[in-house]
Amino acid sequence: MDSEPEVFLYTDGACSGNPGPGGWAALLKHPATETIKTLSGSESSTTNNRMELTAAIEGLRSIDATPRRRICLVSDSEYVIRGLTEWIKGWIANNWKRGKKAGAPPVKNVDLWQELHALAGRHDMTYQHVRGHSGHPENEECDRLAVAAIKALKENEQFQ
């Protein structure tokens, strides 16, 4: 199997207050065709971590599951990258709890983690963490789009 990704999925989430109004963005890049697609959205009351997860979910949701694709998810969120590469197997083994002991608390944002896990399972995934606000072009664009989604949400709410 060729190990080069067919699609790079860059994601970012942002929140104005935590919790507060939030925005997410995904940028999909297809290296073979140089095609770029951007997505973004917002929620009026959320957290930064939920927006980071939503960006990855919406990006993966926009990619056809058939055929199975090689995708590299690139994020500045250690929460997303470590969750997918280190923590999720334990969460699943513990029935989505944060420990093995009786009464262990559930995984935070379990609804989003379960959806992200299912979507990632449709593809051959690799993951890359990048530092936020470090000049990475696609990460900076995702940040700009996520912040713009928050701004648009706030402006829209002012006129309702």
**Residue 13 falls in the annotated catalytic set:** yes
Identify whether 73 is part of a domain: yes
C-alpha to C-alpha distances, 67 to 25, 54, 124, nearest whole angstrom: 24, 23, 11
Among 43, 52, 58, 138, the active-site one is 52
Catalytic annotation present for 76: yes
111 is annotated as an active-site residue: no
52 catalytic per annotation: yes
Could you tell me which residues come within 8 angstroms of residue 137 by beta carbon, excluding any fewer than 6 positions away?
A: none
Query: Tens-digit pLDDT profile for the chain (160 aa)?
Result: 457 999 999 999 999 999 999 999 999 999 999 999 999 999 999 999 999 999 999 999 999 988 999 999 999 999 999 999 999 999 999 999 999 998 999 999 999 999 999 999 999 999 999 999 899 999 999 999 999 999 999 998 776 6
Instruction: For residue 57, give its domain range.
Output: 7-78+110-158
On whether residue 138 sits in a domain, the answer given is: yes
Query: Could you give the number of structural domains in the chain?
Result: 1
- From 43, 58, 76, 138, active-site residue: 76
39 occurs within a structural domain: yes
Where residue 139 sits, what CATH number does that domain have? 3.30.420.10
In a domain, 105, yes or no: no
2 is annotated as an active-site residue: no
Q: Is the pTM of this model over 0.85?
A: yes
